[in-house]
Amino acid sequence: MPAVSRIVLASNNQGKLHELQAMFAPLGLQLIAQSALDIPQAQEPFHTFVENALAKARHASRYSGLPALADDAGLCVDAFEGLPGVQTAFYCTQFGYTKSDDNNRRALLEQMQHISHRKAALVSTLVALRHTDDPEPLIASGRAEGEITRELRGTNGFGFDPVMFIPEANRTFAEMTDEEKNQRSHRGQAARLMRELMQQRWLK
């Protein structure tokens, strides 16, 4: 296929855009946020990360006419049997809070206040399409295991970074630099796998 240089990112999350732009820059790819192209948010009706990521990628590609990359990510807490999962972005709303990163963290710490088993994983699934009807989407997943802290730690990053403690690093993601986080994070793992797939299938 012709060389890919511009890809629409099927997300309005500025944190994701910042991270993924840095991760895909070595391939010479320009990620364009769908909001910059006036693409409305896609519906995410499914219960798995891969299904929602595929739906978002198809939606963005259909509106833009460009190849698309979508990330569906979330927090899977052992004590909650893997939830909130794909509903992570809206986690706090079930407890009466308005949707925001701050409120998601607040709600999580409140709900886990009396829970001693604090293992959790942040999961990211990336899906890339050459066009809307691409029959062979590229799919890459990453998983970062850790523990939920009892208080906020660190000021870098976004989402659940200040409460996601990574034992082997002895820090939360929010206490790491961007480079350190990208080396260990769920999104960093998925992005490295996706870069390899793109080089093998799209860019050779």
- Residues 6 or more apart whose CB falls under 8 angstroms from that of 176 comprise 154, 156, 157, 169, 184
Query: Annotated active-site positions, please?
Result: 72
The token pair that represents 9 in the structure block: 């990112």
Residue 158 is given by DSSP the state: S
For residues 6 and 66, the answer to whether their CB atoms sit within 8 Å is yes
The token pair that represents 43 in the structure block: 């519906």
Owner of token pair 């509106």: 63
